Structures are given as C-alpha cells and as structure tokens.
Amino acid sequence: MENKQTPLGYVSFSVFAWIVGLLIFFPIFWMVLTSFKTELEAVSIPPSFISFDWTLENYVEVQERSNYFKFAMNSVILAVGSTLVGLVFAVTCAWAMAFNPTKRTKDALLWMLSTKMMPPVGVLVPIYLLFRDWGLLDTRFGLIMVLFLMNLPIMVWMLYTYFKEIPTDILEAARMDGATLPKEIIFVLLPMAVPGIASTMLLNIILAWNEAFWTLNLTTSDAAPLTAFIASYSSPEGLFWAKLSAASTLAVAPILVIGWFSQKQLVRGLTFGAVK
Amino acid sequence: MKRVMGAALCALLAGGIAHANAETKLTIATVNNGDMIRMQKLTDDFTSKNPDISLEWVTLEENTLRQRVTTDIATKGGQYDVMTIGTYEVPIWAEKGWLAPLDNLGSDYDVDDLMPAIRSAVSNDGQLYAAPFYGESSMMMYRTDLFEAAGIEINGRLTWDQTLEIAKKLHKPDEGVYGICLRGKAGWGENMALISTMGNAYGARWFDEEWKPTFDGEAWKNALDMYTNILGNYGPPGATSNGFNENLSLFNSGKCGMWIDATVAASFVTNPKESKVADKVGFTEAPCAVTCTGANWLWAWNLGIPMGSQKVEAAQKFISWATSKDYLELVASKEGWANVPPGTRMSLYENPKYLEAAPFADETLLAIDSADPINSTLEPKPYVGVQFAAIPEFQGIGTTVGQQFSAALAGQMSVEQALSAAQSSTDRTMRKAGYY
C-alpha cells in the first residue's frame, strides 16, 4: 500500500521533528554559549541569552591550565585503539555465531550482554588490583584493553545482527570457488557488511570517547583522556560553570565533528540491514 | 675530530641519563578550587628551589578525587605521592596506618604557628599526618543594606530563634529577596554539614557514648523543626537542590538576606568581579541555640603522603613549601593578600596587610578558633569531628540521613518520619558494622 502523506501531515511532522531536534541540541548549544560568558554571567538569574559581554577568557584559562592536546591525543588513541582491537575479536566471534550457530548461541549472546548490566564499580577493586600488579595503571595499553572488553558485547551483538542478514549462499558460493576461511571473511563477508561495520565502529568510538568511569579511575596523568580533563574543571566551592563549559566544548568538539560528517553512515547502519 | 665529537656526545648522553635518574617526579592529586589552582601556577618557585624534583598535577572534582585517592590508598596502588585530603579522611587513614607521618618538614616550618583546631584535626596521637593547606569554618554572611532598611541590628551572637525572626522580616519573594539561603542538597558534605552544626547547637549529637544514634531525642527534633521551618518558609524555592555553589550564585545576585555557609565564601561574596552585592555584605558568627558548642563547622584541605611511597623525602619537601609561611608571602607578592589560602596559620591573622585586605578575617579566625573537633557537642561523644563523625561508615550514613532530611524539607515526609527513618537506618548500619 502506498503511503500518501498530506501537506499538513508533512508540515506538522517536520515541525515536530525540528522541535525534538532543537530540544536535544539545546544543552550543547547552551554549553557553547556559557563558555563565552564570565563566571558571574554564567550563573546570573535570569540567564542572559545573547546580549552579554562575549569573552574568550575561559578558553585562555583552560589552555593555560591544561595541556589539551595531550588529553585529546589520549582520547583518540584509546577510542580508536579499543575499537580496532574490538573489531578483530567481534568480527570473528559474530561470524561464528551467525554462520555456525549451535543450540547455545542465543544463550551465549544473552550472557555476553548480561555482563553489561553489572555496575562497573562492582569490579573496580579487583580490576584495580590486577592493573596494579601487572603495572598497567595509567597506561594506554591497559585502558585500551578495558574499553575493548567493555564494549565487546555490543560490538558482537551489532555485527551478529548484520551478518545474520547476509545470505549464507553467497559465502557457500565463495567456498565452492575455493576461498579459504580468512579469504571468505576478508574478501566476501566484510565488503558486504561495510555499513554495519562502519556504524559499529562509530558507535564504539563514541562509547569509548565518552567513557568516564574507568578512564578516571585507572589513569592519573600519562594516559588520562578528555574525561579527566573535564573532571578537573568542576568545583564544589566557587564558580566554575563558564570554565567547565569551555573545557567541555573543547572535549566534545572532535567527536561532534566526526559524528556530523559521518551521520549518514551512522544512521544508515543503525536503521537498515546489512544488504538492503 | 670525530673522537672528540663522540666523546662529547657520550658525555651529553651520560649527563642526560644522570639528570633523568636524579629527577624525582611527584604526582600530586588535588581538588579543583581557587587556592589549589593558584598553587599550580606557582610551581616554578618550588622547582627552581628544588631542581631535582618535578611536579605532575592531577586535578579532580571533589567527589571524584575522594573516590580516586581512596581506591589508590586502600589498594596501595602507588599512583600518587601527595594527596589532597579532608579533615574527615586524615584521622581514619592515620589510624589505619595509610598515611606517612610528617616528621621532616624542616626546621623553619614552625608547626606551632598552625591553628590549634586545625592542627588537632590533622594529627593522631600528637603526630602530624597531613599539613593543612587551607581551612574553613562556617559563619553568617548578611546584606547590610537590607538589615539597615529593616532596622535590624546585630548585638552579640544570634540564636536560631532570632535568625528566624530576621528571616521573616527580610523575606520578600515578590521583590526577589529571600530571607535566608541554606544548603538543602542531600549529602554528608552538603545539607548534613549545616544540619549537624544546628544539631550541635540544639544539644544533639550523632552518636551517644555507646555509638548508638540519637535521632529519637528531642534535640534533633528541635533542630530539624527549625531547619525545615526557616528554609522551607523563608528560603528560596527549590532549596532542596541548593548546595554551596547554588547559594553562592543566589547571594551574589542579591537574592539572599542571609546565608550561613563556609567562611571561604567571604572572599567570593566581597569580590566585585563575582558579586553584585560585594560592598553590602556583613559577617557574623553562625547562630547558637541551647549552646554555642559545635554551632560552626571545621574543615580543612590538607596535603598527605600515602604510606609506602618511595618518594617521602621529596614529598615532604613539597608539602613543607606549600603549607609554609613563606608560601603565604609568595602568594601575596604575586596575587595580593586577599588571595592567600586562609585558615591555617595564626601569623596570617596577625598580619596587618592581610587584615586590611580581608575584611572578613576577624570573623573567620573567630569561627575557626571556636570550632573544636574533639569537644563539639553539649554531651560527651565517642567520635572526632564537628559536622561529621570520623568513622569509615559515616559517608554512607550521612548521605542517607541527608536524603531523609531533604525529603522532610521538600514536604515529602514529616520531621518525625524523617527522624525515625534516620534513626532506624543509622542503627542498622552501626549494628552491621559491629559497633554494638
């Protein structure tokens, strides 16, 4: 049945979508706006909207106090590193589950996901002790391992869903033509699952970028990413909103830009199947 | 020629390696506040005097810092060489043997110049386990112009009943002015800091001598009745979300007739860059009720060294520098006397330059001097601390009780119900912990 939309329906749907979009974007907009205010203006009631003395002093102070690029570089390394390592394991795992399922595959998938339901603080002390004994505290390698393991269930689930939509016949045809297992995965499966892999990677990068519990608890200075950078600008005594907003704007800017440019792939990967 | 260059290169490399070996890197965990940030900016002074020591700062928000350093010290993680800790942690950690004693701060450190109340709060059996960087008590800040317009004069220390009457007179929500601003946000370091001092003033205590909670007594009821009445009826709307910063914003925008909070707020409310009422603020001691004992709190941020640190000598050198009299002079020379960290050294309050720059100095000194973490309640108590009990269970207990009292303020339960809930939850925790 053809879906006919009336002009009124189209307009009201667009207006509704814009309202929802603006509502979601408003906190980010307000954060950017606050970063250009003085501390006094940032907390003034009623809040000033556009008509205030715009200042860059918060950005100057943040630059003076912290080495932004060191934190940003750590964030990039941790997010990309944990995603790449995760991908190697998740692709092979999802392949096995999607194309060679056993009667326990569904249970295994559910069990993997259930590990995400435990509050991270529950395993803080054991993980901290392991890190201490293995000399991994405040190292990028240690944190990449934690972030990769933390996001692995989601990566496996997403890839499993995409792989399930790829017809097994195509893989069988490749095998008939003499493709070995690695060749089958690399040259046949992966090219067909590119949208799914891209959206899995993007989502994982965003999750790793925003992760604040482990990155704060397992780092001090050498491996500290942007979450630690932001955490250093919150204060229980004294005005800090403007400086915190400037630090937060700097911290989210890279991921915001990446998300902006890759939104088409992200939305496509999240809403469509692998071969549609 | 090649040989000479090779030898020179070797010498350079060897020198570099020797230098790298000689340099001790101290990692310092610190809280984000103005005084600590100022210290970071003055790092060069320390490193120029101690070229063999370099400093790495890790600045964190208070709650994150507390969680981070507690995990590290409890597991002997060894991530930090110097930790910024509060007066709550020092006695507990010293008792557990987690902190290295500060017994080598140098001959010119003048430990006797530390304020007795603060020194006692960071010592265990007379031994210093942390050095205070800045200290604070609580006091009342009020709008002199509104007091004058309402014909109110302060003669001597106010009682909570008198404070209530003043709040009634000043409360004009239609004009955007609320009688009084107090902490309402739930938490052991938030609303419970204030309510504990109110409890002390009404003759209450957290635990009796057998560690049993005392929320079923009349004193706590009187204190909580007053708190919910004065803040609920003559405070700003939505007071249950207000902590220090929210009240600071309200006061600085001219919306509070009175505000009882940390003495450190005095420098913010009198700073014309931050406050619209900078020249209209008066200071007086926190109100009493049946007693003035424990009516104002005591808190200090201190620098301590985790036990087992391999860099104790360098860490003590740093702590000695950061908490010395010379450091106060250094801050004054760079940023002015009004910006030196307050509340730790008696000599600061005898310094005419400081007294001139800080109009709130006398009241701050009076408040800190009168706060005694050992004798802070009318009846004897088994714990150390004015607005907290320095036992490991207190953070959890304080926050739970704070939530119940906050619910009473919001009208979700009555004062009696909140006290009863506080009594049973605290009793359960103390029993489980094996206190009785």
Summarised one tens digit per residue, pLDDT across range B80-110 is: 999 999 999 999 999 999 999 999 898 889 9
Share of chain B above pLDDT 90, in %: 68
pLDDT of the residue at B16: 44
Nearest in space to B56 (alpha carbons), one of A47, A228, A82, A195: A228
Which of A71, A237, A243 to mutate: most B Cβ within 10 Å?
A237
User: Distance between CA atoms of A19 and A23, rounded to whole angstroms?
Assistant: 6
Distance from CA of A46 to the nearest CA of B (A): 10
Residue B303 pairs with which residues in a beta bridge? B84, B131
Chain segment B228-237, per-residue pLDDT in tens: 999 999 999 9
Which of B75, B76, B190 to mutate: most A Cβ within 10 Å?
B75
Residue B86 pairs with which residues in a beta bridge? B301
Residue B143, pLDDT above cutoff 80: yes
The alpha carbons of chain A give a radius of gyration, in whole angstroms, of 23
pLDDT of the residue at A144: 96
Residue B67, pLDDT above cutoff 90: no
Q: Is the confidence metric ipTM above 0.90 for this complex?
A: no
Using a CB-CB distance cutoff of 8 angstroms, which residues of chain B are in contact with residue A124? 71
Judged by a CB distance cut-off of 8 A, whether residue B181 touches chain A is no
Judged by a CB distance cut-off of 8 A, whether residue B58 touches chain A is yes
**Which residue bears the tokens 């309200």?**
B250
pLDDT of the residue at A276: 45
Strands B298-304 and B131-143: antiparallel
CATH architecture of B24-136+299-357: 3-Layer(aba) Sandwich (3.40)
Chain segment B187-229, per-residue pLDDT in tens: 898 899 999 999 999 999 999 999 999 999 999 999 999 999 9
Using a CB-CB distance cutoff of 8 angstroms, which residues of chain A are in contact with residue B278? none
DSSP class of B387: S
Residue B376, pLDDT above cutoff 60: yes
Using a CB-CB distance cutoff of 8 angstroms, which residues of chain A are in contact with residue B33? 235-238
B106 Rama class: left (phi>0) / alpha (psi -120 to 50) / beta: left
The residue that leads in pLDDT, B54 or B38, is B54
pLDDT of the residue at B142: 97
Of B33, B252, B262, the CB nearest to A235: B33
Nearest in space to A236 (alpha carbons), one of B93, B36, B227, B397: B36
Of A128, A232, A237, the CB nearest to B59: A232
pLDDT of the residue at B17: 43
Judged by a CB distance cut-off of 8 A, whether residue B256 touches chain A is no
Cβ separation A132–B76 shorter than 8 A: yes
Using a CB-CB distance cutoff of 8 angstroms, which residues of chain B are in contact with residue A43? 245, 249, 252-253
What average pLDDT does range B269-291 have in this prediction?
Answer: 92
Cβ separation A239–B59 shorter than 8 A: no
Residue B332, pLDDT above cutoff 90: yes
Residue B10, pLDDT above cutoff 60: no
Which of A55, A64, A235, A244 to mutate: most B Cβ within 10 Å?
A235
Q: Are B184 and B242 in contact (CB under 8 A)?
A: yes
Q: Which two tokens stand for residue B383?
A: 């714990």
* Long-range contacts, stretch B62-71, CB < 8 angstroms, 24+ apart: B62/A235, B62/A236, B62/B31, B62/B32, B62/B189, B63/A236, B64/A216, B64/A231, B65/B29, B65/B30, B65/B31, B67/A217, B68/A216, B68/A217, B68/B29, B69/B29, B71/A124, B71/A125, B71/A128, B71/A217
Cβ separation A220–B273 shorter than 8 A: no
Task: Report residues of chain A scoring pLDDT below 50.
Answer: 1, 274-276
Structure pTM?
A: 0.80
Confidence of residue B19 (pLDDT cuts 50, 70, 90): very low
Residue B30 pairs with which residues in a beta bridge? B59
Map out the domains of chain A with their CATH numbers.
61-271 (1.10.3720.10)
Nearest in space to B164 (alpha carbons), one of B218, B235, B219, B220: B235
Q: Give the amino acid at B186.
A: A
Chain segment A46-73, per-residue pLDDT in tens: 788 887 888 999 999 888 888 899 999 9
Residue spans per domain, chain B: 24-136+299-357, 137-297+384-432
Residue B23's CB is within 10 A of a number of other CB atoms, namely: 12
pLDDT of the residue at B359: 86
pLDDT of the residue at B6: 52
pLDDT of the residue at A275: 46
Of A220, A236, A240, the CB nearest to B27: A220
Confidence of residue B150 (pLDDT cuts 50, 70, 90): very high
Judged by a CB distance cut-off of 8 A, whether residue B268 touches chain A is yes
| Assigned CATH for B137-297+384-432 | 3.40.190.10
Of A44, A45, A128, the CB nearest to B75: A128
Same fold, B24-136+299-357 and B137-297+384-432: yes
Judged by a CB distance cut-off of 8 A, whether residue B44 touches chain A is no
pLDDT of the residue at B20: 44
Average pLDDT across chain B, whole number: 90
Using a CB-CB distance cutoff of 8 angstroms, which residues of chain A are in contact with residue B60? 216, 228, 231-232
Residue A2's CB is within 10 A of a number of other CB atoms, namely: 3
Cβ separation B31–A40 shorter than 8 A: no
Terminal C-alpha separation, chain B: 83
Q: Give the amino acid at B252.
A: N
Q: Which two tokens stand for residue B276?
A: 């619209």
pLDDT of the residue at A189: 84
Residue A55 CB-density burial (10 A; 0-12 exposed, 13-18 middle, 19+ buried): middle
pLDDT of the residue at B3: 53
Cβ separation A235–B68 shorter than 8 A: no
